[in-house]
Amino acid sequence: MLKLNFKKFIKLMKDELSTRKPKNRHFSWTVNETKYLNLEKVKRLRQKLKEAKNRALKENKIVPVRDWFMVELGLFTGLRVEEMVNLKESDFHLKESQSSLTVKRGKGDKPRTVYIPETFKNECLFYSDWKEKTITKSDYLFTNNKGKQLTKRALQKSFKRCLRLAGLESRYSIHCLRHTYGSFLYKSSSHNLRMVQEQLGHSSIRTTQVYASLMNEDVKRAVDKIYQ
């Protein structure tokens, strides 16, 4: 009887284990235009925010300038919203031959260097100078007018405001800026997954491979337009 019960116990354990999901199982998903902004939307968003920023500079308003730089930062670095919140002006390295910024505590507390283009370097210098003259001194990049560090929720709400200003769909979250950066970097780097992985700070190349699905979308659009 004891032997029979033991066999039943082993069978029950096997059945239980077979229904559980492995802890390190990799769930595949793809990046499509519901998760990132296409070029037309990127241009529209940037243009509307730039116009709002220029008006704000004349009227001595803070929020539109800060919103503009927040979106530019997301589009040119692909930082996670938590990384944006914790970013400090001292994390930027703009006097070197290749401008960059340091993420001191990325996902999993991993530091990384993110290289930035010359055009965004100039925007960083402008924002730093404006912030020093306009907001109470604080090393944090995103603060309120008293110099207090903004929260993740505050940046998320700011991005929704930016979407409304540009007339874009409210379904997008601030994380779409990271996907947009990864998507366009993947294309501009001739599909260099390793480069995208390092810039985004993915611990596994498998995570970065989601951007490979974009090639399939490009092919689909190309073949749909053939002979037209």
Best CA proximity match to 162, nearest among 67, 79, 35, 44: 67
169-173 — which CB contacts under 8 Å span 24+ positions? 171/34, 172/37
* 178 assigned to active site: yes
3-class DSSP state of 26: coil
Q: From the candidates 178, 179, 181, 186, which is the catalytic residue?
A: 178
Q: From the candidates 36, 172, 186, 211, which is the catalytic residue?
A: 211
CA distance 79 to 105: 11
* 161 assigned to active site: no
* 175 assigned to active site: yes
Nearest 5°: the CA angle 226, 33, 79 is: 130
Radius of gyration of the chain (CA): 22
Q: From the candidates 46, 104, 175, 187, which is the catalytic residue?
A: 175
Q: From the candidates 80, 121, 131, 179, which is the catalytic residue?
A: 80
CA distance 176 to 181: 8
CA distance 90 to 141: 9
3-class DSSP state of 149: strand
* 181 assigned to active site: no
Q: From the candidates 41, 48, 112, 202, which is the catalytic residue?
A: 202
Best CA proximity match to 72, nearest among 106, 104, 48, 93: 48
* 107 assigned to active site: yes
Q: From the candidates 88, 104, 107, 187, which is the catalytic residue?
A: 107
CB 94 within 8 A of CB 119: no
Q: Active-site positions? A: 80, 107, 175, 178, 202, 211
